Amino acid sequence: MHAADWFTLAYTVLGGLGIFLFGMKLLSESLQALASDFIRKLIGWLTNNRVIAMGVGVLLTVIVQSSSVTTVMLVGFINAGLMSLTQAVGVILGANIGTTITGWIIAIKIGKYGLLLVGGGFVPFFFLKSVGWKNVGKVLIALGMVFLGLQFMSGGFKPLSKTDDFHSMLQWFQADNTLSVLACVGLGCLLTFIVQSSSAMLAITMSLAATGQIDYQTAAALVLGENIGTTITMHLAAIGGTIDAKRASYAHIMFNVIGVTVMVIIFPWYTEIVESIVDNSPGMISGLFKTSGETAVEGVDPLIMMKIAAGHSLFNITNNLFFLPLLPLLVKLVTWLKPDKGMKSKKRLKLSGALGNISPELAIGEAEGEVRLMRDVVLDSYRDAAKYVRLQSDDPALFQHIDHLEHVTDNIQMEVTLFLTEVMQLSMTPDQARRGYALIRISDELESIVDYCQNLSKYRARMFRENLKFTDDARNDLDELLASTGTFLENAAGFIIEHHEAAMNDEEVRELIRLSDSIGERADAIRDSHLKRVQEGRCDAIAGMVFSDVVVAMRRIKNHTVNLIDARIGRWEERREALRNLERKTTQRIAAAVDGS
């Protein structure tokens, strides 16, 4: 081949690879947008049950179309303390199975219809207003680009069949003995490590096989190496993460390396089984994958791409089913290999890996989990502050604990804001963007509530220092206000993460509105009673000032709690006004009925 031919080959293959990778990225984004609600449910299904965890991993990876995205996001969940090591390892097992769907997408015999898919997706994407139909259009366009990219790559590799130097080099990678199988495994691992995409390497491998540049045995060995190479993405993401994140990455490497080692030992039987299964598959199934006509290459097995996809699936399914019963032992093993060394890692919410490896829906789910933890800290802070205000003698340890919780919420609020600021640079649906902004505002309101809880403890501590006391009436008023505000905060906190606007019960919202209004009215009544006590000289002046500060702080807590609900469901004032109008009309109807009788 002349230099010009090599140049043509290079830009054709690289251009095809670029179209393929862009198509895979677009496919991942559009599938996530279509299935965002389902992804939220999947995350909620996670338990320590290894079978369920593996099932979640399979479904997540099928949706996001990348095991790297799934495993990188797992590191984020572990770092934030939202997922246990056992859960993570189970999901990784499932991700290894889910990623095999990419091979079947590549292998299916519709490459020549790539432009048809792009054209079919163009219509709903550009001309329909429905977000759902636009995402369907993006899925079709993405699939079309995947197949077009593969077609370009296959066309670019065809001239290599006439190149003697290339065939001489391939003699080292014929996978006809153990040494050459190991060489192919090593090459597949190295190239995947460099490219940082097992999907890209799988596409290149299948394109080379489809054009007759490599045989099935060589392709199978390369794919085995690619399974090891893909583990590096999670390992790099775990660097600087918690101890459990590192353990999960070691588990990922361990069962892929062990599985590939076993397959290398039984390689001739492994490939023979795959070929036997595919060759004896029903004609209706094999017809979907058999190359024929213009796409067929003389002397190349027409089912070779199906065999590569089937071998990829067989390896991952058998390997993971073997490790599934041994998962508790695997967790113990990586815990032993990577001990704590007497130090616990600090849980942090932060991006793991490059933005390109982040799933918007999973990232928002991670942030929601962190805000859920923050909400629990806020509720603990309020309970402790209320307890401290009710004390008759000082408790320095409790005061310090409230102060500590304030610093904790400061850190969480900062991490959530920075995290979501980066995540929202990704391509997101309007609903995802709205939820992201809502979470930033919710974390800010929660942090403000804890600030006022800290203020409550400071006001009470001042009274202990100066040996001041509230009157019995003042204590009773404060006790009532603390109780009602605490009830309002706890009820409202139940909605800010678990409920979305569409899922909220109108009567529950009305009850929250009534409770909010009653707290405001009661605070006004308490203030009037306090002023009366001051005027009558029944209240110490300084103690009276502290009492006023406490009531103001309680009002601020109530107001920030209202803002929490507004951030999640919106239109709080509209709903409040609608409730008042409804109650006004109801009162008028009752009065009219009484007058008529």
Q: For residue 467, what is the domain's CATH number?
A: 1.20.58.220
State the pLDDT at residue 502: 44
Q: How confident is the model at residue 578 (pLDDT cuts 50, 70, 90)?
A: low
Whether residues 376 and 293 share a domain: the answer is: no
Could you give the 3-state DSSP secondary structure of residue 162?
helix
Q: Which DSSP symbol is given to 241?
A: S
276 Cα distance to chain centroid: 39
Whether residues 186 and 287 share a domain: the answer is: yes
| Position 1 pLDDT exceeds 60 | no
| Position 155 pLDDT exceeds 80 | no
| Position 562 pLDDT exceeds 80 | yes
Q: How confident is the model at residue 378 (pLDDT cuts 50, 70, 90)?
A: very high
CB atoms within 10 A of CB 372: 14
Kindly state the average pLDDT of the residues 294-311.
75
Of 337, 368, 391, at which residue does a domain stop? 337
Whether residues 310 and 422 share a domain: the answer is: no
State the pLDDT at residue 84: 81
Count how many domains the chain has.
2
State the pLDDT at residue 350: 66
In a domain, 348, yes or no: no
| Position 412 pLDDT exceeds 70 | yes
The 10s digit of each residue's pLDDT in 193-239 is 887 778 888 888 888 888 777 888 889 999 999 889 888 878 877 77
| Structural tokens at position 183 | 């060489």
Whether residues 117 and 238 share a domain: the answer is: yes
State the pLDDT at residue 67: 77
Whether residues 320 and 420 share a domain: the answer is: no
Helical (H) or strand (E) element with 236: helix 231-238
Whether residues 110 and 181 share a domain: the answer is: yes
In a domain, 138, yes or no: yes
Q: How confident is the model at residue 260 (pLDDT cuts 50, 70, 90)?
A: very high
Determine the structural domain holding residue 579 and report its residue range: 359-590
Q: What is the mean pLDDT of the chain?
A: 80
Q: How confident is the model at residue 501 (pLDDT cuts 50, 70, 90)?
A: very low
State the pLDDT at residue 116: 85
Q: What is the largest CA-CA distance in the chain?
A: 107
Whether residues 333 and 363 share a domain: the answer is: no
The 10s digit of each residue's pLDDT in 414-443 is 888 888 888 888 777 788 888 888 889 999
Of 174 and 84, the one with more pLDDT: 84
In a domain, 548, yes or no: yes
| Structural tokens at position 133 | 């139909």
Of 304, 337, 370, at which residue does a domain stop? 337
In a domain, 128, yes or no: yes
Whether residues 329 and 464 share a domain: the answer is: no
Contacts of 17 (CB under 8 A, 6+ apart): 149, 153, 200, 203, 204
In a domain, 92, yes or no: yes
Whether residues 386 and 282 share a domain: the answer is: no
Please tell me the least confidently modeled range out of 120-129, 153-162, 227-236. Answer: 153-162
In a domain, 332, yes or no: yes
195 Cα distance to chain centroid: 24
In a domain, 49, yes or no: yes
State the pLDDT at residue 582: 57
Whether residues 306 and 400 share a domain: the answer is: no
Of 507 and 500, the one with more pLDDT: 507
Of 379 and 128, the one with more pLDDT: 379
In terms of average pLDDT, the best of 61-75, 255-269, 470-484, 565-579 is 255-269
In a domain, 597, yes or no: no
Helical (H) or strand (E) element with 106: helix 101-107
Amino acid (one-letter) located at 576: R
Whether residues 367 and 500 share a domain: the answer is: yes
Of 302, 337, 372, at which residue does a domain stop? 337
Whether residues 376 and 290 share a domain: the answer is: no
